[in-house]
Structure 1
Amino acid sequence: MIAEFALFSGIGDVIQDAFIALIPLSIFFILFQILYLKLPTGHVINLFKGILFTLIGMVLFLQGVHIAFIPAGNSIGTFFSTIGKAWMLIPFGFFLGMLATYAEPAVRILCYEIEKSSSGFIKGKLILYTLSLGVGIAVAIGMARIVYGFSFLPIIITGYAIAILLLWLSDRDFVGIAFDSGGVATGPMAVTFLMALAVGAAAGIEGRDPVIDGFGLIALIALAPILSILILGIIFRIKKVKTS
């Protein structure tokens, strides 16, 4: 009985947040439907069914985040740092970074749209694997930063300097994709689980400040897809030159 209560703990606030997020969009659509769109009744009914499913999905996901993802991430990070094997956070972070990106719904949608828009020239699976690998490396670097205590600023400044350089070398088709990928990869999977993991790890290591050392991982996750996709663009550019 206690476990069931914990499962639904705080769900009222989650439902309220989901309603607040969806009601303005619904009102916006209704106004456009009345004034401009004039869509058939069946189409409108299907759209509101979709909104209902979205509401249910948001509530279930956000509730799962609050009762499972965030506590689990904190607990795992604290566990590795308190048993005296904090270095294990580096390979573990790499593995989790890849999995979180591979499971990210927004990343899947991006990959699908890229393959469809390029008429299959750029494979969605290739983009998915490239993003997963890039984010895995970024999370590993973020964990190494927490474990060994080196500064965040040189990493992020160097990373964006390299990204600017790669803009001139990469195939132009990949430039827009790269920067969109940076935003998409920092979705709910990465933010809820990996950020909690980093904060938990920083809290458990002596001499680390969870605010100073625990945050910044999402910035690295946002940077990683930009670099990895631009590098992929360079490979495609070289292939184009060889085949032309």
Structure 2
Amino acid sequence: MELNGTFLDQIAETALSIAVAILPLAALFVAFQVFMLRLPRREVKDILLGTALAAAGLFLFLLGVSIGFLPFGRAIGEAVGAMQNMWMLIGIGLFLGFTTTWGEPAVRILADQVDEVSHGGIPGIMVLYAVCLGVAVWVTLGLLRIKFGIPILHLLLPGYIIAVLIIAMSDRDFVAIAIDASGVATGPLANTFLLALALGASAAMDDQSPVTHGLGLVALIAVAPIISVTILGLLIRRKVAKE
């Protein structure tokens, strides 16, 4: 009974959060439709249907995150934190960082929009790979920081200094893409699975506080695409100059 009660509470809480997020947007669309847009009835029906489907998908996603994704990530983090083999830790960090970002919906949307707006001049798949590789490297650095108790500023400050220096040398187009990539890379997957992974890894260290060492991974993930996408821009500019 207690398990069923907890499950029903999770359903109710998730449904309420979805309603708070979606209903104001739907009401705003209806107001614009009545007073300004006046779209055909078929288009309004399609938009409302798509909104309902998106809300249902978001509900299922967030419910799965709260019930399974967070505990799953924390359990993996505890196992990773207990590893003594540093190379295995690096391999797992690279793999989890890459695959988690690869599955991030917002990252894929950004890559598709870059490809569309640039008319294929900046291939979306290259942007996707750049973001995924950048996050993979910095997730690994974040796990090593937890493993060896390195203060987060020792990674974060040099990372942003490098990002600013590369931005100063980059084209404005890639700077804009890199900044947006930084925002979308810290999406729902990173903020659930990878954050839980870091907290679990820190909890496996008996001499560490999860608050001090477990948190901060998302900040490292945010700087990763800025560096990797701007580097991609520099490589593309160099290739074009040679051609």
Q: TM-score, normalised by structure 2?
A: 0.94
Distance 1:9 1:204 in 2: 29
| Pair 1:86–1:22, CA change in 2 (3 A) | farther
Within-5 A mapping of 1:36-115:
36-82=36-82, 84-85=83-84, 87=86, 88-115=88-115
1:157 is aligned with what amino acid?
L
1:193 is aligned with what amino acid?
F
Q: Which residue number corresponds to residue 28 of structure 1?
A: 28
Are the counterparts in 2 of residues 8 and 63 from structure 1 also a CA contact under 8 Å?
no
Q: Which residue number corresponds to residue 224 of structure 2?
A: 224
Q: Which residue number corresponds to residue 169 of structure 2?
A: 169
Distance 1:71 1:14 in 2: 17
Distance 2:3 2:154 in 1: 45
Distance 1:160 1:81 in 2: 26
1:109 is aligned with what amino acid?
I
TM-fit CA distance, 1:58: 1.0
How many equivalent pairs are there?
242
| Pair 1:9–1:78, CA change in 2 (3 A) | farther
Q: Deviations over 1:68-127 (max 9, x none)?
A: 110001111112334x53744432121101001111111111010111111111111111
Q: Which residue number corresponds to residue 201 of structure 2?
A: 201
Distance 1:81 1:168 in 2: 37
Q: 1:10 aligns to what SS in structure 2?
A: helix
Q: Which residue number corresponds to residue 242 of structure 1?
A: 242
Unmatched 5+ stretches in structure 2 = none
Distance 1:89 1:60 in 2: 32
TM-fit CA distance, 1:197: 0.4
Distance 1:214 1:101 in 2: 19
2:47 is aligned with what amino acid?
L
Distance 2:111 2:197 in 1: 26
TM-fit CA distance, 1:4: 8.0
Q: Does residue 1:182 correspond to 2:179, yes or no? A: no
Q: Does residue 1:152 correspond to 2:152, yes or no? A: yes
TM-fit CA distance, 1:63: 0.5
Q: Which residue number corresponds to residue 125 of structure 1?
A: 125
Are the counterparts in 2 of residues 80 and 86 from structure 1 also a CA contact under 8 Å?
no
Q: Deviations over 1:168-200 (max 9, x none)?
A: 222332110011000011111111100000001
1:137 is aligned with what amino acid?
V
| Pair 1:227–1:21, CA change in 2 (3 A) | same
1:194 is aligned with what amino acid?
L
Distance 2:156 2:65 in 1: 28
Identity %: 43
Are the counterparts in 2 of residues 199 and 214 from structure 1 also a CA contact under 8 Å?
yes
Distance 1:18 1:190 in 2: 19
TM-fit CA distance, 1:130: 1.1
Are the counterparts in 2 of residues 104 and 188 from structure 1 also a CA contact under 8 Å?
yes
Q: Does residue 1:11 correspond to 2:11, yes or no? A: yes
1:44 is aligned with what amino acid?
V
Distance 1:91 1:6 in 2: 36
Q: TM-score, normalised by structure 1?
A: 0.93
